[in-house]
Amino acid sequence: MISVTYRNKRWSIPGNIRVRDLVRTVGLNPETVLALEENKLVHEETMLGEQAEIKLVAVVSGG
Amino acid sequence: MKQKRCRHCDEPPVISMRQHKLALCEAHFVAWVHEQTLRSIERYHMFEQDDRVLVAVSGGKDSLALWNILLSLGYQAEGLYLDLGIDGGAGYSDQSHRRILEFQQAFWPDVTLHLLNLKDTYGESLPEVAKRTKRGLHKPCSTCGLIKRHEMNRMARELGYTVLATGHNLDDEVAVLLGNTLRWELECLARQSPVLPADSLGFARKVKPLCRLYEREMAAYALVSGINYIYDECPFSTGATSLYHKQLLNEMERQRPGTKLNFYVDFLRAKKHGRFQSERTKELQHCERCRQPTTSAGICAFCRLWEK
């Protein structure tokens, strides 16, 4: 399973999924987050294996 | 399946800009952001190499990225941090200040950073003055905007900078544009621009060099450049209308890539062709106390904040 964290939330998602689809699976808009794996930016079309650990970072700020 | 490659080399891409049909690796993405910023500076005649630019830095991704880009491009860019004394349970202003100092030490240790502490200068922090006044009674955002506009302008003028640069990105600009359009705020639409010229009454020249770069691109730039910015939003921004507008626009962008860029660029084009001309309804004059320009008779809204 892929481990996904975003702010204080955590999900386990079945592997072999593209980053963009993973973001939508957890209910987020891919335009509003970036995916990091081991602190490196991961492209939205990258296929993720079962062991991936992904941190999603919100891009929206201000008010 | 064919592996996706960077537009300019064989490296795998780290980001796609769907509105430009462009995928780039880390190195080419950083170069692209610098090039796009330079293009905006030149396209809108923001400033020249011999201008002294004061960059308003908040500790967030956009302003730190802007400072880094301008210095990398060889401009004379120095920083200004306005410490508003926001705590929000996590020492928000202190954390922001720390991130700026860390950035400065790691990237540009010889470049000047000016610090202005609101409480030390005027006796009250933003939450304190907002709580005491009618303007900020329910939410301090309007007071915050007023203080920042006044103090950034004052500092730029007093310290002899020819330009004041802020890190507003395209998402910030289209969120404001959508808000003003929904309310048909013609005067605000007429004033919204990548450049606001200096004037003899005391307004410094103000520029937004990141105005054509998406917020997503700025976050990616900060991350790949190793800029450790403050991820948290201001604690007072919860429920802000501009965040709701950004959410709506990002939903449109997801379904129709390029929506945000086209909205902004077409607006600027319409403005250029005279579609949003508006006269100021009130004449500007000097505030009797601080001497900065104001539409108020007597003393300006900023000076009125400190009258108890």
pLDDT band at B226 (very low <50, low <70, confident <90, very high): very high
Residue among B26, B171, B250 whose CB faces A29 most closely = B250
Quote the CA–CA distance of A56 and A3 in Å, as a whole number: 11
Strand-pair category, A47-48 with A17-18: antiparallel
pLDDT band at A48 (very low <50, low <70, confident <90, very high): very high
Say yes or no to pLDDT of B231 above 70. Answer: yes
CB contact under 8 A, A43 and B240: no
Domains in chain B: how many in total? 1
- Whether residue B23 is contained in a domain is answered as no
Q: Which residues in chain A have Cβ-Cβ distances shorter than 8 Å to B254?
A: 29-31
Q: Considering just the CA atoms, what is the radius of gyration of chain B in Å? A: 20
User: How far B271 CA sits from the closest chain A CA (Å)?
Assistant: 26
- Whether residue B246 is contained in a domain is answered as yes
- Whether residue B273 is contained in a domain is answered as yes
Structure tokens at B256: 């129709």
User: How far A4 CA sits from the closest chain B CA (Å)?
Assistant: 18
pLDDT band at B282 (very low <50, low <70, confident <90, very high): confident
- Whether residue B214 is contained in a domain is answered as yes
pLDDT band at B139 (very low <50, low <70, confident <90, very high): confident
- Whether residue B35 is contained in a domain is answered as no
- Whether residue B76 is contained in a domain is answered as yes
Quote the CA–CA distance of B86 and B54 in Å, as a whole number: 23
CB contact under 8 A, B243 and A32: no
Taking the Cβ of residue B64 and every Cβ of chain A, the question of whether any pair is shorter than 8 Å is answered with no
SS3 of chain B: helix, strand, coil, percent, to 5: 45, 10, 40
Structural domain containing residue B191: 49-283
Residue among A34, A45, A63 whose CB faces B223 most closely = A34
- Whether residue B290 is contained in a domain is answered as no
Give per-residue pLDDT as tens, B4-59. 899 999 999 999 999 999 999 999 999 999 999 999 999 999 999 999 999 999 99
Q: Residue A45, CB half-sphere, CA atoms under 13 Å: how many?
A: 15
Q: Residue A31 belongs to a domain with what CATH number?
A: 3.10.20.30
Kindly report the average pLDDT of chain B as a whole number: 94
- Whether residue A63 is contained in a domain is answered as no
- Whether residue A11 is contained in a domain is answered as yes
- The pLDDT of B195-206, averaged and rounded, is 94
pLDDT band at B136 (very low <50, low <70, confident <90, very high): low
Domains in chain A: how many in total? 1
- The pLDDT of B214-230, averaged and rounded, is 97
Query: Which of B25, B168, B171, B224 should be substituted to probe chain A, the one whose Cβ sees the most A Cβ atoms within 10 Å?
Result: B171
- Whether residue A36 is contained in a domain is answered as yes
Say yes or no to pLDDT of B281 above 70. Answer: no
Taking the Cβ of residue B258 and every Cβ of chain A, the question of whether any pair is shorter than 8 Å is answered with no
Quote the CA–CA distance of B293 and B60 in Å, as a whole number: 29
Q: Which residues in chain B have Cβ-Cβ distances shorter than 8 Å to A60?
A: 171, 215, 233, 243, 246-247, 250
- Whether residue B272 is contained in a domain is answered as yes
- The pLDDT of A25-33, averaged and rounded, is 97
pLDDT band at B233 (very low <50, low <70, confident <90, very high): confident
Give per-residue pLDDT as tens, B241-269. 999 999 999 999 999 999 999 999 999 99
Q: Which residues in chain B have Cβ-Cβ distances shorter than 8 Å to A32?
A: 216, 247, 250
User: Which uninterrupted H or E stretch holds B206?
Assistant: strand B205-207
Against a cut of 0.90, is the pTM above it?
A: yes
Structural domain containing residue A31: 2-58
- Whether residue A51 is contained in a domain is answered as yes
Question: Nearest chain B Cα to A30, which residue?
Answer: B254
Structure tokens at B236: 């007072």
Q: Contact at 8 Å (CB) between B211 and B296? A: no
Q: Which of the two residues, B106 and B239, has the higher pLDDT score?
A: B106
Q: Contact at 8 Å (CB) between B16 and B28? A: no
- Whether residue A52 is contained in a domain is answered as yes
pLDDT value of residue B308 = 78
Give per-residue pLDDT as tens, A1-11. 999 999 999 99
Give per-residue pLDDT as tens, B112-135. 999 999 999 999 999 999 989 877
Q: Residue B85 belongs to a domain with what CATH number?
A: 3.40.50.620
- Whether residue A41 is contained in a domain is answered as yes
Strand-pair category, B195-196 with B205-207: antiparallel
Quote the CA–CA distance of B117 and B122 in Å, as a whole number: 9
Taking the Cβ of residue B173 and every Cβ of chain A, the question of whether any pair is shorter than 8 Å is answered with no
